[in-house]
């Protein structure tokens, strides 16, 4: 049975998609198509997780830190409200698509089923939306941003447990960008508490930035604000580490605008690009590991089934032999007893010529009967009957092992072929990915 990754239905879309998009789509198709890797893994009771087609970047920070503005700048579309006031009340996922669209809570869950545990937190579903943009700017087609409520201290009321929700999203996301507002000197305790908690298990994916760096008056003031912010962060035991880095960023005004200070916003884009490449490599590596794991379990089950069938066959032969002896021994005993006690003339009169054959075959057993005293005949017959009954009982007691029905066995054998094809596809996809970075003459 042959298997091929289903091509994208719209050929025009094939020309629009970038190489990375096509590669990720092909990998996801291997997992998700009918009778794909997920179906085989489910049949094998192997736990695998299909990759997501885009990386997820969570943006968090105090209010008016420039989170929504950064997303608008990255996708080159004013899709989110921005301002000094707290504009973002809930969680907004910004992702690329075919057309501009807004999805509310339930529709968002249909698009992102892995977010369902988040909605178990009271009040989150009503404040969960998705903004779909047709923008093709930068690498937006490979990333989904999650804009979060601006964090403030004091009596600010949130319609849900914002700390708990942010921690859950931070653990789920591939990257977490923390934006600090220099005007507030990043002293928001709520922001620092959440960052410190996330840092415990997710330090490798957290990046901190001093946003709106151009709004600080002079370079001296910027350095002071940056130092104060870093000092405040380092007071936290969980955040105090060597090699602490906090690039300063701001939204560029235009190609001809005069730069007020060093702007490292392109480093943010570079971090996103790097994560996309890492995710692609991880997906290809995970695909191989998942295929190998399924193959190992599948071959083990087929081998165990084969051994079980061999043992069951031996059990059937043993049962057949015991049953045959249990039936034949009483028959031999009865016929030999008749031959021993009936005369040759009587047997010929009743059986004709076959009487000579019977006497020839059962004659030795009849001789044994004649040599046994008649007083022991009853005991011998009883013993033979009991022994035959035990043989018949033992023949019915079969210690057979369960095996796969023929239909399931054929499905497992077909799965072996599919996994071999998946393995070949994985290697082909990996070779295509590597050829982007190496010389054409490299031996792949």
pLDDT digits (tens, 9 = 90+) for 293-333: 999 999 999 999 899 888 888 888 888 888 888 888 888 88
Question: Can you tell me the distance from the alpha carbon of 282 to that of 19, in angstroms, rounded to the nearest whole number?
Answer: 16
| pLDDT band at residue 254 using 50, 70 and 90 as cut-offs | low
For 59-110, how does the pLDDT look when each residue is reduced to its tens digit (9 = 90+)? 998 887 888 889 999 999 988 887 655 555 789 999 998 899 999 989 999 9
On whether the CB atoms of residues 248 and 226 are closer than 8 A, the answer is yes
Domains of the chain as residue ranges with CATH: 35-263 (3.40.50.300)
Question: Can you tell me the distance from the alpha carbon of 343 to that of 327, in angstroms, rounded to the nearest whole number?
Answer: 26
Question: Can you tell me the distance from the alpha carbon of 257 to that of 230, in angstroms, rounded to the nearest whole number?
Answer: 29
| pLDDT band at residue 438 using 50, 70 and 90 as cut-offs | confident
Question: Can you tell me the distance from the alpha carbon of 84 to that of 72, in angstroms, rounded to the nearest whole number?
Answer: 16
Task: Output the average pLDDT for the chain.
Answer: 82
pTM assigned to the model: 0.76
Gap between the terminal Cα atoms of the chain:
28
Pairing of strands 91-96, 143-147: antiparallel
On whether the CB atoms of residues 175 and 124 are closer than 8 A, the answer is no
Backbone angles phi and psi of 144, in degrees to 5:
-120, 125
| Arithmetic mean of pLDDT, 370-380 | 79
**Residue 250 DSSP SS3:** coil
On whether the CB atoms of residues 44 and 298 are closer than 8 A, the answer is yes
At 132, which helix (H) or strand (E)?
strand 128-133
Query: For 100-210, where are the alpha helices, taking DSSP H only?
Result: 105-111, 162-172, 189-202
Backbone angles phi and psi of 371, in degrees to 5:
-85, -10
């Amino acid at each position: 049975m042959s298997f091929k990754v289903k091509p994208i239905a719209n050929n025009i879309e094939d020309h629009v998609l970038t190489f990375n998009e096509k590669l990720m789509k092909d990998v996801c198709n291997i997992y998700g198509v009918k009778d794909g890797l997920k179906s085989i893994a489910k049949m094998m009771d192997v736990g695998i997780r299909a990759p997501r087609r885009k990386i997820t970047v969570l943006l968090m920070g105090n209010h008016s830190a420039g989170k929504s503005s950064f997303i608008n700048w990255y996708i080159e579309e004013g899709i989110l409200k921005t301002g000094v006031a707290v504009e973002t009340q809930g969680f907004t996922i910004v992702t690329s698509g075919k057309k501009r669209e807004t999805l509310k809570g339930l529709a968002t869950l249909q698009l992102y089923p892995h977010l369902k545990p988040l909605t178990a937190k009271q009040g989150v579903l009503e404040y969960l939306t998705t903004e779909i943009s047709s923008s093709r700017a930068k690498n937006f087609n490979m990333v989904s941003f999650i804009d979060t409520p601006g964090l403030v201290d004091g009596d600010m009321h949130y319609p849900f447990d914002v700390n708990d929700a942010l921690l859950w999203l931070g653990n789920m996301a591939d990257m977490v960008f923390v934006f600090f507002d220099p005007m507030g000197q990043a002293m928001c305790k709520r922001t620092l508490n959440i960052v410190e908690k996330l840092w415990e298990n997710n330090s490798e994916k957290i990046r901190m930035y001093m946003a709106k760096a151009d709004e600080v008056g002079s370079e001296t003031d910027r350095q002071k604000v940056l130092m104060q912010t870093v000092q405040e962060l380092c007071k936290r035991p969980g955040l105090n580490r060597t090699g602490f880095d906090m690039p300063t960023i701001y939204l560029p005004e235009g190609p001809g605008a005069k730069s007020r200070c060093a702007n490292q916003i392109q480093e943010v884009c570079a971090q996103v690009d790097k994560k996309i490449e890492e995710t692609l490599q991880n997906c290809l590596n995970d695909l191989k590991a998942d295929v190998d794991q399924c193959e190992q379990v599948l071959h083990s089950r087929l081998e165990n089934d084969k051994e079980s069938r061999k043992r069951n066959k031996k059990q059937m032969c043993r049962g057949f032999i015991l049953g045959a002896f249990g039936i034949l021994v009483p028959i031999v005993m009865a016929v030999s007893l008749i031959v021993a006690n009936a005369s040759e003339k009587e047997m010929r009169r009743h059986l004709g010529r076959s009487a000579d054959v019977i006497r020839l075959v059962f004659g030795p057993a009849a001789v044994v009967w004649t040599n046994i005293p008649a007083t022991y005949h009853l005991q011998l017959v009883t013993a033979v009957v009991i022994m035959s009954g035990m043989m018949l009982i033992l023949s019915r007691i079969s210690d057979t092992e369960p095996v796969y029905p023929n239909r399931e066995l054929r499905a497992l054998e077909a799965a072996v072929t599919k996994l071999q094809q998946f393995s070949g596809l994985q290697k082909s996809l990996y070779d295509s990915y590597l050829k982007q970075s190496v010389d054409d003459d490299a031996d792949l």
